[in-house]
Amino acid sequence: MLELILIIIILAFIFELMDSAAGMGFGTGLTPLLLIMGYSPLQIVPTLLISESITGFIDAYFGNELKNVKFSFKPMSDATKLALIIAFFGCIAIFFSILLTYVALELPTIFIKQYVAILVLGMGIFAIFRTRWKQKENVTSNLKLMVGFSVIAGFNKGIGGGGYGPVITLGQIHSGVYEKSATAIVSFSEAMVSVVGICTFLLITAVGVEVDLALLPSIFTGGFLAALLTPYLVRVLPNKMWRYIIPIYAIGIGIFLLLKIFVL
Amino acid sequence: MEWDIGSEARELDEKSFSERAKLEKRSLKKFTVAFLVYFSVMTLFYFLL
């Protein structure tokens, strides 16, 4: 029986809309809400991974179609190369996340989460000031800097601190990537990383861990509709707006992460 | 090493709002196909879940 839950569809739509538009927040925002609603991690995580992989590819495809970014393989465009580099570090990060989680390497979780929250908050604040300082737009982007940010984001995810999307998106912006293109590149790379995550869950299922995909139709419905709408919104709204929306949303996520550590 | 990413989006941003809002027929067709993909995936979920 295919069950569609309206509140889950609405939540998935809102968080996917912001994730596709600002390059961050789907997992960070939706996971704690679903946990509060009484769903277990084994109901949430594989569902989010499957949904994010499909919606990520949809978002990237329509981002390309609506000229927010140019993805091509023959010849390979710079945006495609960057998405692959980011995905590569993301996949390594997923691998280490699982190693650290299942090999039970003890890490001071609270310090890791604090470090990631402060990093995201700091990058968001810096991005706001950068927007005010920089009058002239950069036409080119700095690859070395972007690889550095990919490593930092991968490291954060690898040690279990999250914050992959904010660091990658803000890292691209700091490296000179146009905001509208940066979010589409994140969606493409996160879709590839999510596929690796799904494969990992398939392996876990093979050794007897049961995953529950009852939430998938609802999350997929909300996410899919948002992934279709967002590339059009990104195209129509001027880049100036995204230049403020992205860091402000990142600051919000940073504050939310800190609240989660100290208050919730 | 420096890359050029987002030049098409920059060019599009210089155009008026109405030009940015206008969709080509080809894009509209692709949106229609995307909805068909959605219904196909939901049908697949119906049988699998």
A1 inside domain:
no
Chain A partners of B13 at a C-beta cutoff of 8 Å?
Answer: 180, 238-239
User: What are the phi and psi torsion angles at A139 (to 5°)?
Assistant: -90, -25
Place of tokens 């949809």: A58
Alpha carbons within 13 angstroms on the beta-carbon side of residue A15 total: 24
A183 domain residue, yes or no: yes
Block residue for tokens 């179609």: A65
ipTM score over 0.90, yes or no: yes
| Euclidean distance between CA atoms B38 and A17, whole angstroms | 17
Which residue type, as a one-letter code, is found at position A148?
G
pLDDT digits (tens, 9 = 90+) for A13-23: 999 999 999 88
pLDDT-based confidence at residue A107 (cuts at 50, 70, 90): low
B49 closest CB neighbour out of A2, A181, A228? A2
- Which chain B residues contact residue A58 at CB under 8 A? 34
User: What domain count does chain A have?
Assistant: 1
CB of A177 within 8 Å of a chain B CB? The answer is yes
Indicate the pairing of strand A141-142 with strand B2-3.
antiparallel
Q: B36: burial class by Cβ within 10 Å (0-12, 13-18, 19+)?
A: exposed
pLDDT(A132) > 70: no
pLDDT per residue over A45-73, tens digit each? 889 889 989 999 999 999 999 999 999 99
Please tell me the distance from the alpha carbon of residue A238 to that of residue A240, in angstroms, as a whole number: 5
Read off the pLDDT of residues B1-49 as tens digits, 9 standing for 90 and up: 567 788 889 999 999 999 999 988 999 999 999 999 999 999 999 998 8
In this complex, do B5 and A143 lie within 8 Å of one another by their Cβ atoms? no
Asked if residue B42 belongs to a domain, the reply is yes
- For chain A, list the strands marked E by DSSP: 141-142
| Cis geometry, peptide bond prior to residue A166 (ω within 30 degrees of 0) | no
What's the domain range around A252?
Answer: 6-262
User: Closest Cα of chain B to A62: distance in Å?
Assistant: 8
Count of Cβ atoms closer than 10 Å to residue A20 Cβ: 32
User: How many CB atoms within 10 Å of residue A103?
Assistant: 7
| Interface contact B3-A235, CB threshold 8 A | no
Partner B, chain A 205-234, Cβ-Cβ below 8 Å: 213-214, 216-217, 220-221, 224, 228, 232
- Indicate the pTM of the whole model: 0.86
Give the range with max mean pLDDT: A140-144, A191-195, B39-43.
B39-43
CB neighbourhood size of B27 (10 A): 17
When divided into structural domains, chain B yields a total of: 1
B16 located within any domain: no
Nearest alpha carbon to residue A16 among A210, A183, A167: A183
Residue B27 lies in a domain: yes
Instruction: Please return the burial class of A8, using the count of CB atoms within 10 Å of its CB with bins 0-12, 13-18 and 19+.
Output: buried
- Closest-CA residue of chain B to A211: B49
Please tell me the distance in Å from B26's CA to the nearest CA on chain A: 9
C-alpha to C-alpha distances, A209 to A44, A91, A200, A215, B14, nearest whole angstrom: 14, 22, 12, 17, 53
Closest residue to A78, CB basis, from B5, B31, B45: B5
Q: Which of B3, B5, B36 to mutate to test the interface with A (most CBs of A within 10 A)?
A: B5
Q: Which domain holds residue B46?
A: 23-49
Q: Is A70 on the interface with B (CB under 8 A)?
A: yes
Interface check A147 vs B, CB under 8 A: no
- SS3 at position A40: coil
Q: Which residues neighbour B40 within 8 Å (Cβ) at sequence distance 6 or greater?
A: none
